[in-house]
Structure 1
Amino acid sequence: DGDNLTVTHEFLSLMLGVRRSGVTDHLHILEGRHAIRSTRGNVRILDREMLLDIAGGCYGVPEREYEKVLGLPTRVK
């Protein structure tokens, strides 16, 4: 909930299984598109609709399938 994610680049890299520098590079790209604002230990969502558009089918569809298979509610609509 909310638009602020208290996460570090290091934590995101561990969760995604990628190099920290790759996370930093892509956060800078998203900042350049004015979708987010990243500061030390925080990522603020500025344009949620743009993020959903960028994610395409990688967001929403998998979460709904997860809910269907496991019967657990998700927050994605």
Structure 2
Amino acid sequence: MVDDRSATNSFGLTHEYLSIMLGARRPSVTDAIHVLEGEQLIRSTRGNLGIRDRSRLVEFAGESYGTPEAEHRRLMSLPLTSRKTRASTHALA
């Protein structure tokens, strides 16, 4: 998801910072990074993560990638109701 919002495929992210973003224990993040490195999908060096094979990484992530983004797009595209519209609705109820 960081790659989606960045102009580069290398990011200054530490395991600690990723654990905070994900709400996971840092050792769990390190274990996951090792798995992704073993699959040759990413490369991790001190304070830096790089994507080696984005298409395979997306495939590896399965429904963990794409579904949340689609839901975010759906929610953000919903029309906003104005206070006037909400007040009219309450008056009718």
Task: Give the TM-score category using the shorter length.
Answer: 0.7 to 0.9
How far did 1:5 drift?
A: 1.4
Percentage identity across paired residues of the two chains = 49
Which residue in the other structure is 1:74 paired with? none
Pairing 1:40–2:46 present: yes
Query: 1:69 pairs with 60, 67, 75, which one?
Result: 75
Gaps of 5+ in 2: 1-5, 78-93
TM-score by length of structure 2 reads 0.72
Greater helix content: 2
For 1:18 and 1:69, the matched residues in 2 are separated by 25
Structure 1 moving runs of 4+ over 6 Å: none
Letter in 1 for 2:10: N
Letter in 2 for 1:24: T
The structure having more radius of gyration, on CA atoms, is 2
User: What is the root-mean-square deviation in Å for CA atoms of aligned residues?
Assistant: 1.4
Query: 2:33 pairs with 27, 33, 36, which one?
Result: 27
Query: 1:54 pairs with 51, 57, 60, which one?
Result: 60
TM-score by length of structure 1 reads 0.85
Query: 1:10 pairs with 3, 8, 16, which one?
Result: 16
How far did 1:66 drift?
A: 0.7
Partner SS for 1:38:
strand
